[in-house]
Amino acid sequence: MKPSVPPCSLGSLKMAELAVLNCRQLVTLAGSRRPRTGREMRDLAIVPDGAMLIRDGRILDVGPRAEIERLLTPAAQVVDAGGRIVLPGFVDAHTHPVFAGTRADEFELRAEGATYAEIAAQGGGIRSTVRRTRQTTEADLLTAARRYRQWFLRGGTTTVEAKSGYGLSLEAELKILHVIRQLAADGGLRYVPTFLGAHEVPDEYQGRTDAYADLVIHEMLPRIAAEGLAEYCDVFCEPNVFPVDKARLILRAAQSLGLGVRLHADQFSPDVGALLAAELHAATADHLEATGPAGLSALKAANVQPVLLPASVYNLGSTRYPDARRMIELGLAVVLATDFNPGSSPTASIPMVLSLASTQMKMTPAEGIAAVTINAAYSLGRGGQIGSLEPGKLADFVIHDCEDYRELPYFFGRDPARAVYIGGNCAILNI
């Protein structure tokens, strides 16, 4: 055994064999090969004083320290977790990470009493970010997105779903998806690309939603599918943005091209979005702040995963959080995500989301952690590769400076990740 190395050495360490030792709690999330529901969400399969063996970027073995130490070869490099907790990297299943500028000006207006809807109706909101993003070069968008990538990593996130949606023309949507492709090629954080051409009706199509939906269906989607630029298609389904009939047409077109489907559903208006997600057997229905019993039952019957975004509720100053307890009682495989974007949710912090989930939606810390690891991984079609620390999976793990996993939501406003490993490589060190 080589002498123990610090928790993380900066840069890419392509180590053939890695042993992670001295974990006060190794929070594995091991279990059946499907998303967790009901009481299962409270079982994190924690190994006290646990250890983990990694070879060529994949997990070889997980167990009590003494057991793993017996398996070590002299070639193994040791990562000493220092008596801290180790978790799978967080999987953030709903983000909008490529955009130009900020909307700090609108944040100030909202602090003075304006509402998100009023600002959007006056041409601000998503459309103001679209104007700026169109004028920004691919290189500058990439620079901004790489800065935000550090924020995700510092929060302990190792995979993000990344939506386009601030271009809203063929050229500008391609530009954003090319940025996402480059971010993925960089290594480090993993990206799962989603095409969100139907995020809003752009300025030049105001009053002509049908014509814009035609553009999305007949020009954008075929080109994006042909270039393999997205795995999923998403639509902002709201009566005054893309009403359910338009959303259905766009998402059916995406499915016929082989894309999976996720939806912004019932953020402000009740039920139709959830019902459409169920009808289409979407992978996820996201937001669901306004969803009632009919919508929830439909999601359950169609096996659609809810993605809850409490940071956007909080940041918009609302108190209408989605009914997470009801969803868990119904047996829905709940996911939590940041919704990182420049308007409704400018945070990349999963620990912040975990705090809101416990304080505002009464999810237990364990339920929250299941929702941002194994359940989020399944919602992205990656439950077999990431989301838990089990033999055969990719070695995406994080050492958090905590003694107990419940401290993650308890000490709020702090990102305690100390070392972040992706595929066995060290991605970031926070001292």
**For binding to ligand NIG (CB under 6 A), which residues are involved?**
96, 125-126, 129, 236, 264, 267, 312, 339, 341-345
Provide the residue type at 189 as one letter.
L
Cβ(238)–Cβ(203) below 8 Å: no
To ligand NIG, the closest distance from the beta carbon of 67 in angstroms equals 44
Total H helices, total E strands in the chain: 17, 15
To Fe ion, the closest distance from the beta carbon of 341 in angstroms equals 6
To ligand NIG, the closest distance from the beta carbon of 200 in angstroms equals 8
- Looking at beta carbons only, is 174 or 316 nearer to Fe ion? 316
In our burial notation (b when 16+ CB lie closer than 10 A, e otherwise), range 112-131 reads eeeebeebbeeebbbbbbbb
Q: Which among ligand NIG, Fe ion, none contacts residue 295 (Cβ within 5 to 8 A by kind)?
A: none
**Spatial distance between the Cα atoms of 85 and 417, rounded to a whole number of angstroms:** 10
To ligand NIG, the closest distance from the beta carbon of 312 in angstroms equals 5
Q: Which among Fe ion, ligand NIG, none contacts residue 406 (Cβ within 5 to 8 A by kind)?
A: none
- How many Cβ atoms are within 10 Å of 302's Cβ, its own excluded? 16
Q: Which of 104, 147, 110, 150 is nearest to 129 (CA)?
A: 104
92 near Fe ion, judged by CB under 5 A: no
Q: Answer positive or negative: Cα dihedral of 234, 268, 241, 245.
A: positive
Tell me the residue number closest to ligand NIG, measured at CB.
Answer: 343
Q: How many CA atoms lie within 13 A of 311 on its CB side?
A: 26
161 near Fe ion, judged by CB under 5 A: no
Cβ(315)–Cβ(346) below 8 Å: yes
To ligand NIG, the closest distance from the beta carbon of 267 in angstroms equals 5
- Looking at beta carbons only, is 339 or 401 nearer to ligand NIG? 339
- Looking at beta carbons only, is 53 or 371 nearer to ligand NIG? 371
- How many Cβ atoms are within 10 Å of 319's Cβ, its own excluded? 7
**Spatial distance between the Cα atoms of 138 and 100, rounded to a whole number of angstroms:** 10
To ligand NIG, the closest distance from the beta carbon of 163 in angstroms equals 9
Q: How many CA atoms lie within 13 A of 349 on its CB side?
A: 18
To ligand NIG, the closest distance from the beta carbon of 396 in angstroms equals 25
- Looking at beta carbons only, is 129 or 355 nearer to ligand NIG? 129
Q: Distance from first CA to last CA of the chain, Å, rounded?
A: 26
Q: Using CB under 5 A, pick the residue from 17, 161, 289, 339 that binds Fe ion.
A: 339
17 near Fe ion, judged by CB under 5 A: no
- Looking at beta carbons only, is 268 or 405 nearer to ligand NIG? 268
Q: Where are the alpha helices (DSSP H) in 123-164?
A: 126-134, 138-154
- Looking at beta carbons only, is 148 or 397 nearer to ligand NIG? 148
Q: Which among Fe ion, ligand NIG, none contacts residue 383 (Cβ within 5 to 8 A by kind)?
A: none
Site string for Fe ion, 32-51 (x = CB under 5 A): --------------------
- Looking at beta carbons only, is 235 or 389 nearer to ligand NIG? 235
- Looking at beta carbons only, is 77 or 305 nearer to ligand NIG? 305
Match 């529901």 to its residue by tokens: 37
**Spatial distance between the Cα atoms of 358 and 308, rounded to a whole number of angstroms:** 13
Q: Which among ligand NIG, Fe ion, none contacts residue 65 (Cβ within 5 to 8 A by kind)?
A: none
DSSP state of 5: B
Binding site for Fe ion (CB under 5 A): 339
